[in-house]
Amino acid sequence: MSVMSNKIEKMRILDLEAKEIRRREANWEFIEKQPPRLKAALKYYVETGDLYVASRIAGMTIEEFNILRIKANIPNVV
């Protein structure tokens, strides 16, 4: 396997691990109670860890969404 493929595979595994951690630690009761846009944004964030796009879905600034993410107990896994 080439060096590039190895790196991509390593990143894919790290991504999966991060997603698992976000899914496991998220407060799903809190998430399900949110209005549609915020709920969709939080679920998107759990899946991808992409703060920018999640904040766009929520119609919030990144900072505002970051506060929401913390309230929803979703960790930022880097």
Partner 1 sequence: MSDFAIADTCFLIDWSLWKKRDIIFQIFKTIFVPEAILNEVKSEGVISWIAEALAQGKLSLFTETSEILEEARSLIERSRMTPGIRGVDLPEAICLVVGKRRGYMVLTENRGALMIVNLFEEFSNVKVWRALEVIAEAIRRGILQTPHIENIFMEYEVETKHRFPRVDLDNVIRKLREEAREVA
> How far is Cα of residue 42 from the mean position of the Cα atoms in its chain?
7
Which residues sit at the interface with partner 1, rule CB under 8 A? 36-37, 39-41, 43-44, 47-48, 53, 56-57, 59
Residue 3 or 59: the one with the smaller Cβ distance to partner 1 is: 59
Report, in Å, the least distance between residue 54 CB and partner 1: 8
Residue 53 or 70: the one with the smaller Cβ distance to partner 1 is: 53
Amino acid at site 7: K
**Please, which residues have CB within 8 angstroms of residue 54's CB and are 6 or more apart in sequence?**
41, 42, 44, 45, 48, 65, 69
